[in-house]
Amino acid sequence: MSKMIHKSDFEKRKKIRKFFVFFFLILFAIIVIYLGLATLPLDKTSIAIDWKGIWLGLEDGKIRYGTGIRNPPWSLIPLVPLGLLPFFESWVLLSLVTLMALMISIPKVINKQKFLLGALLLTTSYPSIRHLVDGNLEALIILGVLMLLLGYSSHNPLILAFGFLLASAKPQETWILLLALFINVLSFWKIKDLIICFAVVFSVVIPTMLMYGVEWLNSFVGIPQMGSIMDSSLITSMRRLGLPYWWTLLIWFFIFAPTLYLSFEKRERFSRIHTAFFISASLLLSPYAAANSLLTIVALGVIPLLFEHPIVGCFLIAIINLPYTFSSSFKYEWAATYGMLMFLLCWFIFGTYISIKKSKNVPKQASS
């Protein structure tokens, strides 16, 4: 009995030591990153260009549209405290939150070596570095989707509700995933859990929409980048490549049909690959998409696939990191189109993976 107590105390002390080591490592990283970024002349470069427009819309803790913010008002609530900080400090904190979200997204059912490999490949990938430099909000999407998956699998209405409020920060990125979850929640969940989930969501969405709904819709519909050289949606990219409009519609429906079919398929849990598949399709089929959303696909789909199928995963990582070799002029003209091609490639590979795995799970019929 005493040995068991001694072992339990030892495990507790071990966990406490790990916590403090992790805490001081994070603190050290914050100091190093802060001191390093403090030397950058942000006002004279395009660094944090996305965050600048968002921060101006949150300055002094007040939400204002028309500065570059196009996210739904309910999803901006966690960001309001950043508006109380100076621009530089808020960007550093956002970068740290993004890095933490990326680390949290790495599957935990693997050994330490694979975890470190996944962390290295994810945080040094081109979408990750590009995103950190620009200062965008994919951390909200990644954390929101992880909460959606946890809430759905554990039948926890509160986690699912808060996951929705975060994951819907970019509706063009998650609309198909949210549709698939909505269909399955209605199919499998008890009425009591549904009422709790919807009550939490509406208690946040309705007041914020009453206050900022018109401003948000005006900014969301009138995105100036829509149809521009920065648009990575399928329709705009195909037009940029000079494809006939009927070819574009044919490809659009070729993607839409199987994706819609899978979204209506009943399942008790969603895998990371399913999630990344739906997000890839959402970005392709939306009227507007940005290439920086590729980071979410890498975090939620490519890294998990890397651990299951290293060859396919390494291939995707290599292709996704090709922009490191592009010239500045090529990036400016073709980065958005390249982003669309990455969405399409990931959608195809994830869809193939889902189909193969599904066929293996189907019990073989006994020959008559």
Residue 327 belongs to domain spanning: 138-357
Query: Is residue 175 domain-resident?
Result: yes
Find out whether 204 and 194 touch, Cβ atoms under 8 Å. no
Look at residue 67 and tell me whether its pLDDT is greater than 90: no
Please report which confidence band the pLDDT of residue 322 belongs to, taking 50, 70 and 90 as the band edges: very high
Q: 261-295 pLDDT, tens per residue?
A: 888 887 778 889 999 999 999 999 999 999 999 99
CA dist 13 and 54 (Å) reads: 43
CA 216, CA 69: separation in Å to the nearest integer?
8
Contact 98, 58 (CB under 8 A): no
**Which of 4-8, 19-23, 238-242 has the highest mean predicted lDDT (pLDDT)?**
238-242
3-state secondary structure of 124: coil
Q: Tell me the CB-side half-sphere exposure of residue 50, using CA atoms within 13 A.
A: 19
Tokens (6 digits) for 314: 């390494």
> Total structural domains in the chain?
1
Q: How many angstroms separate the CA atoms of 47 and 27, rounded?
A: 24
Q: Pick the range with the lowest mean pLDDT from 58-67, 73-82, 121-130.
A: 58-67
Q: What gap in Å lies between CA 242 and CA 248, rounded to an integer?
A: 10
In which residue are the tokens 């959606």 written?
148
Residue 76 lies in a domain: no
* Residue 365 falls inside a structural domain: no
Least confident of 21-35, 48-62, 226-240, 350-364: 21-35
Contact (Cβ atoms closer than 8 angstroms) between residue 127 and residue 292: yes
Q: What is the pLDDT of residue 44?
A: 57
Q: What percent of the chain has pLDDT over 90?
A: 57
- pLDDT value of position 331: 84
Confidence of residue 36 (pLDDT cuts 50, 70, 90): low
SS (H, E, C) 223-245: CCCCCCCCCCCHHHHHHHCCCCH
Asked whether the predicted pLDDT for residue 304 surpasses 80, the reply is yes
Q: What is the dihedral of CA 17, 113, 307, 159, to 10 degrees?
A: 10
Q: Which amino acid is at 320?
A: I
Supply the pLDDT for residue 367: 39
Instruction: Show the CA angle centred on residue 102, arms to residues 123 and 148, nearest 5°.
Output: 155
Residue 320 domain-assigned (yes or no): yes
Most confident of 62-66, 203-207, 267-271: 203-207
Q: Which two tokens stand for residue 326?
A: 């592009």
Please write the tens of the pLDDT for every residue from 331-367: 888 889 999 999 999 999 999 999 888 777 765 443 3
Residue 198 inside a domain? The answer is: yes
pLDDT of residue 182: 93
- Is the model more confident about 244 or about 43? 244
CA 228 remoteness from chain centre: 23
Q: Is 247:98 a contact under the CB 8 Å cutoff?
A: no
In a domain, 253, yes or no: yes
Q: Is residue 344 part of a domain?
A: yes
- Residue 311 in any domain: the answer is yes
Cα distance between residue 52 and residue 34, in whole Å:
17
pLDDT beyond 60 at 1:
no
Lowest mean pLDDT segment, chosen from 79-88, 295-304, 314-323, 326-335: 326-335
Average pLDDT, the chain: 86
